[in-house]
Amino acid sequence: MNKKQRVIVGMSGGVDSSVTAALLLDQGYDVIGMTMQLLPEEDSKQSACCNLGAVHDAKKVCGKLGIPHYTINSRKAFQDHVINPFINSYANGETPNPCVECNRYIKFDELWSYADSLKADFVATGHYCQIKKDDQTNNLRIFKGHDPKKDQSYFLYMIPQEKLKHILFPLGHLTKDKVREIASEKQLINAKKADSQEICFVSQKSYKDYVKSHIPAEKKHPGEIRDLEGNTLGNHDGIYQFTIGQRKGLNLSAPHPLYVIKIDPLTQIVTVGQKEDLPKQHIQLHTFSITDPKRDITNENFEIKTRYQMKTIYGRVSNADLSNQTATIQLEIPQDGIAIGQSCVLYKNDELIGGGVISQSD
């Protein structure tokens, strides 16, 4: 590099983003660390991540590496694009994925909003995934991370070409063990810091408690639990408590296990049935996009994930309308637990093709 290219690294205080900054520094980049304050101040005191300790750790790492560090207030953007939609989604009987929306609106947009003032060429994060260039088309592609246990490509299907050109993922070819080893070698204070396993803004015992305490009064509606024949089996005090495929917590007495089959936000009726009533074969998606908009994906077969922690299943795109951001997926074999609000993500040979949010299944 004749002139050092500048990169803003999103630093959470964890080992992944810290090693990201260290590796880019070793590669000759001019590195700036940046930590986003995302949670309301009171919530940040209780959160396992995104707290004051995380900001402190990020600053300590930057001091160790000899790079500048900035803390930015991104609370309003996080409230508007992640927390409020999360609450509203559950209030409407959906099962949202806030990490997808955080990556869609926060992780890169917020960092990049400071690029001009800091004269940055790139933004970088500690995601475990890889960006590779297609030599034939010159387009950039996203691939799964080398470590299958840490791959985070599922959350990044919405990143378009123009953004990919300015993003770096230095950890994509590494395992988590290797990342910790690098952190230890560089004597970073968070080398052994545990990973956060929870939704960062949910400090209560469960997401149900969080939603119950934050949902507006006008959206708290009791309703009935019915079987597929329309018989009333019980009552509930809010559809936010349920997700498709749920078995526990129904408080129903029956001779066989019952599962949530359907949640109707208009009538507040939760429909339950047996396990054989769960599988669905067709999935409708909204907010659908692909990383390479010039690629024709209609009638092509893909490996598919409808939740982050699952083995891939198989299906094809029977219809895709990129202008309206919609698509229809036909699964090879009907599957259980396809929940409205989760993301359906498409892969081909470890390459991330695209995805969207599930709006309907049958």
Integer Cα distance of 243 and 246 in angstroms: 6
Residues facing residue 329 across a β-bridge: 283, 317
Q: Is residue 351 part of a domain?
A: yes
Alpha carbon distance 145, 165 (integer Å): 18
- Both 245 and 228 in a single domain? yes
Which of 8, 6, 16 has its CA nearest to residue 70? 8
pLDDT at residue number 295: 87
What is the model's pLDDT at position 344?
A: 98
| pLDDT confidence of residue 44 | 58
Q: Are residues 69 and 178 in the same domain?
A: yes
Whether residue 197 lies inside any domain: the answer is no
Tens-level pLDDT at each residue, the chain (362 residues) = 467 999 999 999 999 999 999 999 999 999 999 999 998 776 655 555 566 678 999 999 999 999 999 999 999 999 999 999 999 999 999 999 999 999 999 999 999 999 999 999 999 999 999 999 988 888 999 999 999 999 999 999 999 999 999 999 999 999 999 999 999 999 999 998 888 767 888 876 688 888 988 998 888 899 999 999 999 999 999 999 999 999 998 999 899 999 999 999 999 999 999 999 999 999 999 999 999 888 889 999 999 999 998 999 999 999 999 999 999 999 999 999 899 999 999 999 999 999 999 999 99
The pLDDT score that the predictor gives to residue 289 is: 96
Residue 117 is assigned to a structural domain of this protein: yes
Q: What CATH number corresponds to the domain at position 107?
A: 3.40.50.620
Give the residue numbers spanning the domain of 295.
Answer: 280-361
* pLDDT recorded at residue 54: 86
Structure tokens at 195: 């990973």
Tell me if residue 143 falls in helix, strand or coil.
strand
200 catalytically annotated: yes
Q: Which two structure tokens, joined as six digits, stand for 243?
A: 């997700």
In a domain, residue 199? The reply is no
Residues 37 and 94 in one domain: yes
Q: Are 193 and 57 in contact (CB under 8 A)?
A: yes
Out of 49, 50, 102, 129, the active site residue is 102
Asked if residue 26 and residue 109 are part of one domain, the reply reads yes
**Same domain, yes or no, for 174 and 66?**
yes
Task: Find the distance separating the first CA and the last CA of the chain, reported in whole Å.
Answer: 54
Per-residue pLDDT at 199: 82
Residue 273 sits in a domain whose CATH number is 2.30.30.280
Does residue 195 fall inside a structural domain? no
> What is the pLDDT, as a whole number, of residue 197?
66
Q: Which of 49, 50, 129, 200 is catalytic?
A: 200
169 CB neighbour count, 10 Å cutoff: 22
- CA–CA dist 245, 204 (Å, integer): 23
pLDDT of 158: 95
Question: What whole-number distance in Å separates Cα of residue 352 and Cα of residue 354?
Answer: 6
